[in-house]
């Protein structure tokens, strides 16, 4: 099959030989990294912007792409990122749905293959993941702690080691290239709540808060200790911030009550955020959906940047009016409709979003899609997004 172009039907991407997909992604990353190395530093001005101290424009993180987007558009997409470089660089040690794989692991999962083809695999935590054809990312399909009688054995023998040799190895080349001059972010997905339901299952987890408080507290304490140690290890690298993720919102409201969130999670988050601030780094907290109800708590316990401020779930003007100047923002461009807009509509949305979340608050806003961009988004829409976010404020 010939190499894909911007007109290649999305469904054909997964039918390319894996070696060809791998080659396209490697070439893309090499070109983008070379452009970053040749560009001016961003570390100091981005940090000041996220402290709402002003900048010539809002910083951007636009390489928030599923791997198959890169495969589909390849060199043409690389050209855009060479000309319009991201200011915020994520250094992710492994895809969260695949997890860490030590060199000693016999049956290794190839990340790119897992995220561009249908299939199933089991991560180091014992969670089984699956990806459907045409989907974005992967979701849990089976969990390791089906019954609380398994908990002690799991904590004693199966719980992963946050300090395992090699856990950060895949992030280190990015940090070696860019960590001293660019605003690099260490990434820790599935921080507490999402890891909890990846181990117990979503339905069980919601019931556990009411029926098995002692057991869920025991498991959460172990997960919080893991998270704290992993965070400490990440802080030994030249990152400017730590990005932690737990999705707490549905499209309309929080998935749990505020008292429950405070009872089981607030103190654990505070402890981790305090550790990050002690190291003089910033906290970026990712939580999809309508999380309006916990934003005051997140500000109080030390979140510096809230991601992704999903516009389908929250009114961004209301969020800005209530919390702007007390916290910075990230995301807020509706990835779920990015393929439906015209390029001009995207330009208008970018300018409106920047005017709402960034301009009034010292450019304390990271311009980005609200979540991973799917391969069905036209290249001309991505071009409009990237070019407009790089416009200087007038």
Distance CA 131, CA 174 (A): 27
What CATH number is associated with residue 350? 3.20.20.210
At 261-293, the pLDDT tens digits run 999 999 999 999 999 999 999 999 999 999 999
Residue at 1 is within a domain:
no
Residue 184 sits in which domain range? 10-389
Residue at 42 is within a domain:
yes
Owner of token pair 């780094």: 281
Token pair recorded at residue 218: 């025991």
Residue 24 has pLDDT above 50, yes or no: yes
Q: Where are the beta strands (DSSP E) in the chain?
A: 88-91, 119-122, 128-131, 139-142, 183-188, 241-245, 282-286, 305-307, 328-333, 365-369
**Buried b or exposed e, range 87-113, using 16+ CB within 10 angstroms:** bbbbbebbbbbbbbbeeeeeeebebbb
Residue at 383 is within a domain:
yes
Give the confidence band of 103 by pLDDT, cuts at 50, 70, 90.
Answer: confident
Which of 119, 132, 130 is closest to 11 using CA atoms?
Answer: 132
Residue at 254 is within a domain:
yes
Residue at 205 is within a domain:
yes
Owner of token pair 């029926």: 211
Residue at 286 is within a domain:
yes
Structural domains in the chain (count)? 1
Within 10 angstroms of residue 63's Cβ, the number of other Cβ atoms is 22
Which of 348, 351, 307 is closest to 331 using CA atoms?
Answer: 307
Residue at 85 is within a domain:
yes
Residue at 2 is within a domain:
no
At 2-22, the pLDDT tens digits run 455 444 455 467 788 999 999
């Amino acid at each position: 099959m010939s190499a894909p172009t911007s007109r290649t039907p999305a469904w054909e991407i997964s039918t390319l030989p894996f070696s060809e997909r791998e080659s396209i992604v490697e070439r893309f990353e090499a070109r983008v990294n070379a452009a970053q190395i040749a560009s001016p530093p961003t570390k100091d001005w981005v940090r000041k912007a996220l402290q709402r101290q002003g900048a010539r424009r809002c910083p951007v993180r636009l390489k928030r792409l599923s791997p198959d987007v890169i495969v589909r558009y390849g060199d043409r997409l690389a050209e855009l990122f060479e000309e319009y470089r991201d200011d915020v660089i994520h250094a992710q040690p492994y895809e969260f749905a695949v997890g860490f794989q030590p060199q000693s692991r016999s049956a290794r999962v190839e990340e790119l293959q897992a995220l561009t083809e249908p299939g199933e695999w089991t991560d180091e935590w014992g969670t089984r993941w699956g990806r459907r054809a045409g989907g974005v990312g992967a979701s849990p399909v089976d969990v390791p702690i089906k019954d609380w009688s398994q908990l002690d054995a799991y904590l004693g023998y199966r719980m992963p080691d946050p300090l395992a040799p090699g856990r950060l190895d895949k992030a280190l080349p990015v940090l070696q290239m860019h960590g001293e001059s660019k605003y690099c972010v260490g990434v820790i997905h599935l921080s507490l709540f999402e890891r909890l339901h990846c181990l117990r299952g979503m339905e069980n987890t919601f019931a556990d808060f009411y029926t098995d408080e002692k057991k869920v507290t025991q498991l959460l304490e172990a997960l919080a200790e893991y998270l704290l140690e992993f965070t400490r290890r990440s802080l030994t690298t030249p990152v400017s911030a730590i990005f932690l993720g737990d999705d707490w919102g549905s499209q309309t409201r929080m998935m749990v009550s505020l008292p429950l969130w405070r009872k089981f999670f607030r103190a654990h988050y505070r402890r981790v955020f305090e550790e990050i601030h002690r190291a003089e780094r910033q906290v970026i907290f990712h939580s999809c959906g309508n999380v309006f109800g916990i934003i005051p708590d997140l500000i109080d316990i030390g979140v510096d940047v809230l991601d992704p401020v999903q516009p389908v779930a929250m009114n961004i003007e209301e969020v800005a009016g209530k919390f702007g100047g007390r916290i910075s923002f990230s995301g807020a461009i509706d990835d779920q409709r990015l393929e439906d807009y015209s390029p001009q509509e995207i330009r208008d949305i970018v300018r409106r979003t920047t005017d709402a979340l960034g301009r009034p608050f010292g450019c304390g806003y990271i311009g980005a899609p609200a979540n991973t961009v799917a391969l069905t988004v036209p290249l001309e829409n991505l071009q409009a997004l990237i070019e407009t976010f790089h416009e200087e404020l007038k």
